[in-house]
Structure 1
Amino acid sequence: MKTLLKNAREQKGLKTREVAQILGIDQALISKFESGTRKPTKEQISKLARLLEIDYETLMIAWLKEKILYEIGDDEFALKALMVAEEEIKYNRTISNLKISTSLEKLLQEIDVLKAKLDTYRQFDSYRITQALELEYTFESNRIEGNTMTLRETDMVINEGLTISGKSMREHLEAINHHEAIGFIKDLMQKNNSLNERDLLSIHNLILRGIIPEDAGRYRKVQVMIKGSSHMPPQPFMVAKEMEDYFIWYEINKNKLHPVILAAEMHERLVTIHPFIDGNGRTSRLVMNLILMQKGYLITNIKGDYETRMQYYQSLETAQTKNNKEDFILFIAQIEKQSLERYIDIIAQ
C-alpha cells in the first residue's frame, strides 16, 4: 500500500505537505503512511483514494491485507484461521441479505410452540412408541431410494430376524443397516458432540456395509450424476475440499441458525456435494435428524410415497440449480411440524 500511495501522489505532482494541507492531516503522518510505519484509518483511506484518484476497492484491499498480515504474521495456524474467517465472512454477507419469508417465520414459530409443548410431555416418552417411529423412518427412508419392502416386512427383518421371500439381499441389508445407523446417531446425540468427518463417514459406512463394502465410509473417486436431476455434483478431486468447507460452515453456523434451518441446510449441502458413490440421500437425512435430535426436536420422516418424494426431489432441485433454498427449508419444516403434532397426539392420550 505504501508504494501505491507514494506513486499516486508523485503522478499527481503533489508534495506530502500539499496532500496534508488538502486533507487536513499532519504532514508527518502522510510520510509515515508512505514509509509503512503507520497505517491510515478507514476514513483517511477514503480521503486519500479520492484525492489521489486511486481506485477505492484497490486501496481498501491493500489496506486490509496489511492489517491481516500484521495481526497474524506467520503463525502456524494462520492459513487455517484465514479459511475459517473466509467462510464466516461469506456467511455474514449471506445472512445479512437473507430474508426469511413470512410463511417460513410463521411455521418456525409454530414448530417452537409445539417443541415447548413436547418438552412438557417428555416424562411420558415410551420406548415402544420411539421404536415404532424409528421403524417407520427406516421404512420410508429406504422406500425413497427404491426399496420395495413393506413396513411389516421391514419390521420382520429388523425385529424378528426373518428373511422375506422375493426380496433381494440388498433390500434386507438396507433395512438392517439403516436401523443400526439410527442407533449410532442416537449414541452421538447422547454424547452431544459436534458433527465431524469421522462420525459422518461412520454413518455412511453403516449404510453401505455389506452392500458396497469397498465404498462404505469412503468419498467417491469417480464422477457421478444424480438420476432425474440437472444438478452436476463436483468432480471427485474437489470432494475432499468441499467436505472440509462443509464442516467449517457447520462449525460457524451451528449456534446461529434455527435448528430446523440448520438441519435442512446440512441435508441439502451434503446431498448437493454428493460425496459418496451411493447412500447420499440416507446419509444426508440421518445427518439432518442427528442435528434435530441434538437440539431436542423429533426425527423428520420424509415419506416415500410418490407425491411426497416428488415434492422432496423438486425442492432439492430448486435449491441446487436456482440457489433458492426456501422451498426445501419449508418442506422440511412442514414435515417436522407434522412429526411434532403426531407425537404429541400419541403421548397425550
Structure 2
Amino acid sequence: MKTLLKNAREKKGLKTREVAQLLGIDQALISKFENGSRKPTKEQITKLASILEIDFETLMVIWLKERILYEIGDDDLALKAISLAEEQIKYNVSFVRKSISKNLQNLLNEIDVLKKKLDTFREFDSFRIAQALELEYTFESNRIEGNTLTLRETDLVINEGLTISGKSMREHLEAINHVEAIAYIKQLMERNFPFNERELLSVHNLILRGIIPEDAGRYRRVQVMIKGSSHMPPQPFIVPKEMEDYFIWYSENKGKLHPVILAAEMHERLVTIHPFIDGNGRTSRLVMNLILLQNGYVIANIKGDYDSRMSYYQALETAQTSGKKEDFLLFIAQIEKECLERYLGIISK
C-alpha cells in the first residue's frame, strides 16, 4: 500500500503537505503512511482514495489485508482462524444485504457517490455555511414539534439575543437549547468521543434545560402516550432495560451497517422507546445526526412543513406498529441525499 499511495500522490503532482492539509492531519503522518511505519485509519483510507483518485475497493482490500496480517501474523492457527472468520463475514454480509431492499440499496449507492464527492471539497467547508445550515436545522426540528418561531425569528433569538413579542419563553428556550445541543454533538464528533448513555443524557439535558429542569437528562418515571399515534411506549420501569438493550444493539451494529441505516435505526429505536417525558423527537434526531457527522456525512434536516411532517410521522408509525422499517429508512436516506446535494451545490461554487 505504501508504494501505491506514494505513486498516486506523485502522479497527481501533490506534495505531502498538500495531502495532509486535505486530510486535516500532520504532514509527518503522510510520510509514515508512505514508508509503511504507520497505518491509516479506515476513515483516512476513504479520504485518501478520493483525494488521490485510487480505486476505493482496491485500496480498502489492501488495507484490510495488511491489518489482518498485522493482527494474526504467521501463527500456525492463523489459516484456520481466517477460514472461520471468512464464514462469519459471508453470513453477516448476506444477512445485511437480504435485509435491505433494492430501492434502498440504490439510494445508499447514490449517497455514497455524493459522499465521495463531498470529501474532495472538504477544504471549502465554511463556518458561516455550517452556521446557516445549523440554524435551519434548529428551526425545522423545533417546527416539527410545534414551535411557531419563524426562521428569521429563530435567527434573531439565537444570534441577536432578542425576545420576540407574542412568542412564549419556552419557544425561545427551545431555539437556544437546540443550538447548544448541536454544538455539543459536534464536540463529541470532533473529539472522537464514543456515543453512550452519559452523552445521550447530556444531549437531552441541553434540550430541556430551563424548560422542564427536573426531567432534563433523566428517564421518565411515568407512562406516556404519543399524541396522534397508536404506538404505546413501554412502561417507565422497563425503560432502563430498554435503553441498556439500545446501547448493546448500537455496539454490535455500528461496524456492520451502512452509516445512514445505522443513524436512521438509532433514531427510530430511541423515539420508539420514548425514554423521556419530553424532547424525544429532538433528541432522537440529534443522535441520528451525531452518527451521520461522525461518519463524514451532513446533517439530515427533516422539514417541519405539514406534508414533510406527515410523511415523517407516517413512516415512523409504520415502523413502530408493524416492525416494517423500510419506509422510514427510505425516508431518512432520501433526506440525507437531498441534504448532501444541497451542501455540495453550496460549497462547490
Shorter-chain TM-score bucket reads 0.7 to 0.9
Q: Name the counterpart of 2:132.
A: 132
Q: Name the counterpart of 1:312.
A: 312
**CA distance in 1: counterparts of 2:98 and 2:271, whole angstroms:** 22
- Structure 1: state its 5+ residue gaps: 1-90
Within 5 Å, give how 1:253-272 maps onto structure 2.
253-272=253-272
SS at match of 1:247: helix
Within 5 Å, give how 1:1-349 maps onto structure 2.
95=95, 98-349=98-349
Letter in 2 for 1:288: M
TM-score by length of 1: 0.73
**CA distance in 1: counterparts of 2:263 and 2:99, whole angstroms:** 18
TM-score by length of 2: 0.73
Letter in 1 for 2:105: E
Question: CA-to-partner distance for each residue in 1:154-199, whole Å, 9 max, x for gaps?
Answer: 0000000000000000000000000000000000001222210000
SS at match of 1:299: coil
SS at match of 2:190: helix
Q: Relative to structure 1, is the Cα distance of residues 187 and 270 closer, same or farther in structure 2, using a 3 angstrom cutoff?
A: same
**CA distance in 2: counterparts of 1:94 and 1:109, whole angstroms:** 17
Q: Is the 8 A contact 2:96 2:257 kept in 1?
A: no
**CA distance in 2: counterparts of 1:92 and 1:328, whole angstroms:** 23
SS at match of 1:165: coil
Question: CA-to-partner distance for each residue in 1:282-317, whole Å, 9 max, x for gaps?
Answer: 000000000000000000000000000000000000
Question: CA-to-partner distance for each residue in 1:36-80, whole Å, 9 max, x for gaps?
Answer: xxxxxxxxxxxxxxxxxxxxxxxxxxxxxxxxxxxxxxxxxxxxx
Larger radius of gyration: 1
Q: Is the 8 A contact 2:301 2:335 kept in 1?
A: yes
SS at match of 1:317: helix
**CA distance in 1: counterparts of 2:93 and 2:192, whole angstroms:** 29
Letter in 2 for 1:316: L
Q: Relative to structure 1, is the Cα distance of residues 278 and 287 closer, same or farther in structure 2, using a 3 angstrom cutoff?
A: same
Structure 1 position 99, deviation (Å)? 2.8
Aligned residues: 260
Structure 1 position 98, deviation (Å)? 4.0
**CA distance in 2: counterparts of 1:105 and 1:238, whole angstroms:** 35
Question: CA-to-partner distance for each residue in 1:201-229, whole Å, 9 max, x for gaps?
Answer: 00000000000000000000000000110
**CA distance in 2: counterparts of 1:194 and 1:133, whole angstroms:** 25
**CA distance in 1: counterparts of 2:250 and 2:134, whole angstroms:** 26
Structure 1 position 97, deviation (Å)? 8.6
**CA distance in 1: counterparts of 2:161 and 2:328, whole angstroms:** 36
Letter in 2 for 1:204: H
Aligned-residue RMSD, C-alpha: 1.7
Structure 1 position 265, deviation (Å)? 0.1
**CA distance in 1: counterparts of 2:127 and 2:99, whole angstroms:** 40
**CA distance in 2: counterparts of 1:347 and 1:255, whole angstroms:** 30
Structure 1 position 95, deviation (Å)? 3.9
Letter in 2 for 1:348: S
Q: Is the 8 A contact 2:204 2:283 kept in 1?
A: yes
SS at match of 1:287: helix
- Structure 2: state its 5+ residue gaps: 1-90
Question: CA-to-partner distance for each residue in 1:256-299, whole Å, 9 max, x for gaps?
Answer: 00000000000000000000000000000000000000000000
